[in-house]
Structure 1
Amino acid sequence: MDLFSPSLHVKRRIYLIVLVVLACLVALVWQQFQTSQPLTRPKVEQVEVKWANEPIQPIPLTIDLDRDQVALGKQLFEDVRLSKNNQISCLSCHSYSTGGTDRAMHETGGEKFGAINTLSVFNSSFNFRLNWSGKFEQLAQQIDSLLQNPKVMGSNWQDIIVKLRSSSQYRQAFARIYPDGLTPFNVKDAIATFEQSLYTPNSRFDQFLRGNAQALTAAEKEGYRIFKDYGCVSCHQGINVGGNMFQRFGVMGDYLANRGHVTKADLGRFNVTHNPADRYVFRVPSLRNVALTPPYFHDGSAQNLEQAIAVMAKYQLGRPLSKQQTDLITQFLGTLTGEYQGKPL
C-alpha cells in the first residue's frame, strides 16, 4: 500500500473544506455586489435634516410639569398683589401677546423706569443664566429679586404673604399642593414652575429641523445659511438659539463708545463680578420669537431686526452685510416664532 495515498475518509474531509471555502468566497462577492448598489430610501429620509448635527436644536414638543403647580403659578404671575402698590404683576412686563416682553425700550415697574431692556419670559428656563448680566442661575432666584426690587415690584415677603393669606383660595391651593402651605419658598416655586411651562415649540424652523424641508422657503433657508456662514451661530446656537454663553458687546469695535453716554447698565456682567474683564459683557440673548420682541439689545437701541443685524455684523463679526443678506437673515429669524399652548404666538 502506498503510504502517501489519502484514504477515502481524508478525501471527503478535503472536499468538505474546499466547499466551505468556496461558499465563503461566494458570500463575500455577493455582499460586495449588494453594497455597491444604490439604496432605495423613503422620501422622508431623503429630505430629512439631521438636526442632531445642526448648531441649533428644536424645542421639545412637551415638557412634563405638575399641572396644579403650573395653574397656581399662573395665577400668581398675573396677580398685582405681589407688588407694593397692587398695580404691577409679572404679566405687566411679560405679556403673552407681545412675545413675553413689554416692547418698551427700558423695563417698567413700580413708579420708576429701569435702565435696561426687558427680556422675554418665554423659553427662559432653557437659558444657562438669567438677566442680561447673568446674575441669577435659577428662576426662583430671579423671582425673589424682582419682587423686592424697588424699580420693579418694590414689595417684601412679609407684605406679600399677608396679602396672599387673606385669600381663602390661595390658602386652600397652597395647602393642597405643598405640605408646608403658603410660604415665600413655595410662592417662588409655583411661579418658577409656571415659567417653565412658557415654552414655545413647533416653530417653522423647528419643523424644518425635525425633517420637514418644506417648512421654510428658499429665501429663509438661504438666510439660515448666511446666519451660519457669517458666524452669527457662534453665539446664537443650541436649543434657545442663544442664552448659553457670555459675550462682550463690541468684539470688533467699540459700540458703546460710538453710541455715547455710557451708563452703569452698560457695564453688564461687571456689575455682578466687579472683574474688569467683564466690562460690557452680557449674557447672549435667545433669538426664539425674536421677530415679536423689539426693541433689541440691553439698551433697546435697535428698533427693528434690520438695525440689530447691521449692528451685530459690524461690531461682533466685523463683516458688514448687504441689504439683501440682511433681509434674508431677517426672514430666517422670523421662522423662530413658535407656538404657545398649541397656538402661534
Structure 2
Amino acid sequence: MLKQILTPFLMTALLFSLVFCGPSEETKEIQGKAKQIIGALPEKMPGSENDSEKLISLGKKLYFEKKLSMNESQSCNSCHNIEGKSAGVDNLPTSPGAFGKNGDRNSPTVLNAGFHFVQFWDGRAADLKAQAKGPILNPVEMAMPSEKEVLKRINEDAEYPKLFAEAFPNDKAPVTYDNLAGAIAAFERTLVTPSRFDDFVKGDFKAMSKAEQEGFKSFLAAGCTSCHSGNLLGGNSYRKVGLVNEYKTEDLGRFNVTKKPEDKFVFKVPSLRNITLTGPYFHDGKIATIEEAVQKMAYHQLGINLSEEETKKIVLFLGTLADKNRAN
C-alpha cells in the first residue's frame, strides 16, 4: 500500500523537477562557453539590407536557370542543391559539369556562404557576387563561351528583360553580367540556416541534449576551435591542410591564386554549419563519412588520434549545427 502511494508521489515530484527546475550549473557553464566562443548565427547576411524583393526574386529565378549553361543542362542548383532538405550541395565527391567532365574540387555548400570572408576553397572570389560570375564561364562547369553570349540568351527570353528592369529600376541598361551576378548573390543572401545550437546559445537550454552538450565539450577539448571558430565555426581563415601530419593531395590550393610558396596546400577553413548534411568531405571530396572526417582532421591538423567514443561525441554536437528545416 505504501509503495502504491509513494510511486505516484515520486513520479509527480520528478515531473515537477523536470518542468519547473532550471538548467544545471554545468549546462549553464556549457551554454556560456558556446555563447562566448562561438555565438549565434546572425539572422541576416551582410548586404541583405539593400536587397529588394524583386531583386531576390530575379536572383532565385537565375539560380535555377539552365539557360546559363552552354547546353542548357546545368544551373547553380545543379551543384548547390537547395531544394527540399538538400543542404546546398550535390553530395558528390566532385561535380559533373555541362558536358559531363568533373571539376577538381568538392562543391561547398551555398548555405550561409555570404557570411564567409571569401568564396571558393582557394578564396579567389571576394564575395558572393564575384563567385557567381565564375562557374557560368568556367569551361568545365557551365561552359558558356562569353558574357556576351550569356546576355544574348537573357535578352532573347520573354521574361528576363522586364524582370531585370524591375530589379534594377535606376539602370538605363539593366541587363548586364554584373547585375546578373548581383541578383544571384541577393538570393543567396537569404539562405541563412538557424540551428538548435543557436537556440541553445540564445538561452533555450533544452535545445541540446546532455550528450550533445558533452560533444561540445569534447569539441573544445580536442582543440577544434583553433580553426573552426566564430559563429560559422570556420569560413573566416585559411589553413594548410596537413598542418601537423601530411595530407596527400596534388591540389596546391591557394598557391594557384597567389603563387606564394607559403600558400601551397592552403585552403579556406570550411564552416561546420550543416556539416553533417554536406558530405563527402574535404576539398577533394575523398572522405566519405563525417566520423572519418572528424578523425582525419584531428590527426592531420592537430596531431591527435581521437577514440571512437570521442569521435561519436563530437559528431553528436556537429548535428546540432544543422538547419532545423533540413535536419532529419
TM-score (norm 2): 0.85
- Say what the alpha-carbon RMSD is for the aligned residues: 1.9
Q: Residue type of the partner of 2:277?
A: L
- Unmatched 5+ residue regions in structure 1? 1-41, 257-261
Q: 1:19 is matched with which residue?
A: none
**For residue 270 of structure 1, what is the amino acid of its counterpart?**
F
* Mapped contact 1:88–1:109 kept (Cα < 8 A): yes
Percent of matched pairs sharing the same residue: 38
Q: Please list every run of 5 or more consecutive structure 2 residues that lacks an aligned counterpart in the other structure.
A: 1-20
Alignment match, 2:275: 290
Letter in 2 for 1:325: E
Matches within 5 A, 1:130-149: 130-149=119-138
2: CA distance, partners of 1:150 / 1:57: 40
How much has 1:62 moved relative to structure 2? 4.7
Equivalent residues in 2 for 1:103-142 (5 A)? Answer: 103-111=91-99, 112-142=101-131
Alignment partner of 1:88 is 2:58: no
- 1:57 maps to what in 2? 39
1:32 maps to: none
Give the C-alpha shift of residue 193 in structure 1.
0.5
Among 58, 62, 71, the alignment partner of 2:57 is: 71
The letter for the 2-side match of 1:83 is: S
CA distance in structure 2 between the aligned counterparts of 1:193 and 1:76, rounded to whole angstroms: 11
CA deviation profile, 1:126-152 (whole Å, cap 9, x unmatched):
100111111111111111111110011
Task: Name the residue aligned to 1:248.
Answer: 240
Cα distance, 1:43 vs structure 2 = 5.1
Partner deviation per Cα, 1:32-57 (whole Å, 9 max, x = no partner):
xxxxxxxxxx9589876347852212
State how far apart, in whole Å, the 2-side matches of 1:168 and 1:107 are: 31
Provide the residue aligned with 1:174 in structure 2.
164
Asked if the contact 2:86–2:326 (Cα under 8 Å) also holds between the matched residues in 1, the reply is no
Task: Look up the match of 1:24.
Answer: none
Q: Is the 8 A contact 1:57 1:239 kept in 2?
A: yes
1:207-222 → structure 2 map (5 Å cutoff) = 207-222=199-214
* Conservation of the 8 A alpha-carbon contact between 2:52 and 2:167: no
Does the 8 A contact of 1:44 with 1:211 survive in 2?
A: no
**Higher Cα radius of gyration:** 1
User: Are the counterparts in 1 of residues 44 and 189 from structure 2 also a CA contact under 8 Å?
Assistant: no
How many angstroms does 1:280 deviate by? 0.7
**CA deviation string 1:224-245 (max 9, x = no partner):** 0111111101111112110000
Counterpart secondary structure, 1:140: helix
- Residue 157 (str. 1) matches residue 147 (str. 2): yes
296, 300, 308: which is aligned to 1:323? 308
Alignment pair present for 1:299 and 2:287:
no
Q: Which amino acid aligns with 1:167?
A: D
Q: Name the TM-score, length of structure 1 as normaliser.
A: 0.81
| Distance (whole Å) between structure 2 residues aligned to residue 286 and residue 241 of structure 1 | 5
Task: Tell me how far 1:60 sits from its aligned partner.
Answer: 2.3
Question: Whole-Å Cα distance in 1 between the matches of residues 182 and 140 of structure 2?
Answer: 23
Q: Distance in 2 between matches of 1:118 and 1:52?
A: 29
Aligned length: 293
**DSSP 3-state at the match of 1:168:** coil
Quote how far apart the aligned CAs of 1:168 are. 3.0
Separation in 2, partners of 1:135, 1:108: 21
Say whether 1:230 aligns with 2:218. no
Cα distance between partner residues in 1 of 2:225 and 2:96: 31
Partner of 1:198: 191
* Distance in 2 of aligned mates of 1:305 and 1:93: 20
